[in-house]
A and B are shown apart, each in its own frame.
Chain A
Amino acid sequence: MTIGLTHYLVVAAVMFVTGLFTMMTKRNAIGILIGVELVLNAATVNFVAFDRYLGPDRLDGQITAIFVIVLAAAEAALAVGICINVYKNLSTVDVDRANSLRG
């Protein structure tokens, strides 16, 4: 009953697919952002699991995971700013209604 690499990869695959489903079916811009966060987390779990089982001495996976977390925080900050701007212009964050480039 040893926990191996495949166990973590399968959990990450489930998280990735649910994030994809969230991005496909939500119309709220912030809901789509939450789906993106799920997908990024799944990728990070993959990086750390590969780092643990396939290259334990090199730390590459963990460093990559740190950079992914930094980029996700930056992306969330910018995306929330954009959402607030879209809300100011259109008074909704429905992505189907934000279909014009000239605000």
Chain B
Amino acid sequence: MNDMMHISARSFMRLVAAVGCVLLFSSRETIASDASGVTTAVAPGGLLEAGLFYFVALAAVVSSLGVCLSRDIVRMAVWLFGALGSVAVMYFLLAANFLGAIQLIVYAGGTLILLVFGVMLTSKSPWVKFQCPKIEMLLAGVICSALLGCLCIVLTEATWAGSMEVVPGASVKVIGQTLLTKYVVPFEVAGVLLMIVMVGAAHLARQED
């Protein structure tokens, strides 16, 4: 069972990576052919979008279920990689190409590696297999499925105040200009926060002499 999950995790990762590469190259061709610099990965409303969306949605759901159902912490991290990759492809489908690239670089490349480092540095203990009591598992399952049911009902019933019309996605240039004009204060605060976090993490993880 666990071996099967491991193999399916790997094949899922490969499939998601392949779809991401295809989308990246197709969006690059769009950039090359579009002089205004406006990028859209996949034309909205087409059959390609629907097929890719359902594939990626399935990958995201299966990877998320793999994260919450597998017991081994390293396998959880591998499934999380699948979920992050599917979310990145979803960003490409939503015409947020810059965000998809950021997701792959920062999340899948940085945060996930950090988590795996954490696993390796903290796994040599006698209590490696942490087991949750069955009754708590059952209770959490009931609560979570009730929440999911309510959320799905609300989401399918809701009517949103908005035009619902899809315009071509913004280019990286526009995102950069918005970030440095309208959102310059949060941008600077994020920079200060990152420096504090760097100092704090170094302080927390330093060697005691």
Binding site for B on A (CB under 8 A): 1-11, 13-22, 24-31, 33-35, 37-38, 41, 44-45, 48-49, 51-57, 59, 62-63, 65-67, 69-74, 76-78, 80-85, 87-88, 91-94, 97
Contact = CB atoms under 8 A, between A and B. Distances in A.
A22 B204 contact: no
Interface string B83-100: 110010011011110110
B21 interface: no
B122 A31 contact: no
A27 B130 contact: yes
Contact of B141 (A21, A67, A82, A94): A21
Nearest to B183: A63
A84 B205 contact: yes
Nearest to B77: A34
- Interface residues of B: mostly helix, strand, loop or mixed? helix
Contacts of B197: 74, 77-78
Interface stretch (B8-16, B22-30, B53-61): B53-61
B5 interface: no
Interface residues of B, number: 87
Contacts of A44: 87
A53 to B, nearest CB: 6
Contacts of A55: 162
B147 A20 contact: yes
Nearest to B66: A18
B35 interface: no
Contact of B175 (A14, A56, A59, A82): A59
Interface of B: 44-45, 47, 49-50, 53, 57, 60-61, 64-65, 67-68, 73, 76-77, 80, 83-84, 87, 90-91, 93-96, 98-99, 102-103, 106-107, 110-111, 114-115, 117-119, 121-122, 125-127, 130-132, 136-137, 140-141, 143-145, 147-148, 151-152, 155-156, 158, 160-167, 169-170, 174-175, 178-179, 183, 186, 190, 193-194, 197-198, 200-201, 204-205, 208
B61 A14 contact: yes
A14 B87 contact: no
Contacts of B50: 1-3
Contact of B87 (A41, A59, A94): A41
A27 B151 contact: no
B111 A37 contact: yes
Contacts of A51: 94, 96
B167 A56 contact: yes
Contact of B64 (A18, A52, A54, A59): A18
Contacts of A5: 160, 164
